Amino acid sequence: MAENKTKATEASVESYIEGIQDSARRKDCETLTKLMSKATKETPKMWGTSIVGFGSYHYKYESGREGDTCLVGFSSRKSDISIYGLNAAPTHDDLIAKLGKHKAGKGCLYIRNLADVDLKVLENLVADAAKAKHHDRC
């Protein structure tokens, strides 16, 4: 069974965010860090080289594959900010309809910039997803 490549590290979240070249994107990532910290009540931590994650979650699939990942997290990518872990929110479908301009992938939400979305809705999505995963592991 292959091991997860993306693991929690001791790398600096601040250094990662400071390294984002685009100043508007950097500001969005600073805001997202505060929003996710508040919503999850977790301290941000780097997962791999490019994911800012909050909390940790042990998963096990029916296939037998298992590992650890962050409850929720985000990464600044070339054209969007990818947000991970929100599908676990029981309120996902209702809230996603109210979120604003975004794209959705299999396990990610893609946002060009935070001005395009309702931050209160995003905060609720993050909080609900983290809570659902906390509940799963208890």
Handedness of CA 27, 8, 39, 114 (dihedral sign): positive
Residues 6+ apart with CB under 8 A from 63: none
Among candidates 82, 97, 48, which has minimal Cα distance to 68? 48
- Tell me which amino acid residue 41 is: K
CATH 3.90.1150.200 correct for 13-137? yes
Q: How far apart are CA 115 and CA 16, in angstroms?
A: 22
Element (H, E) at 29: helix 23-40
Q: What is the pLDDT of residues 52-87, one digit of tens each?
A: 999 998 888 788 888 888 999 999 999 999 999 999
- Prediction pTM value: 0.90
Ranges of each domain in the chain:
13-137
The answer, yes or no, to whether residue 1 has pLDDT greater than 50, is no
Q: How far apart are CA 129 and CA 86, in angstroms?
A: 5
Q: What is the pLDDT of residue 66?
A: 83
- Tell me which amino acid residue 23 is: S
* Between residues 4 and 84, the one the model is more confident about: 84
Q: What is the pLDDT of residue 103?
A: 95
The CA-CA-CA angle for residues 57, 75, 36, to 5°, reads: 60
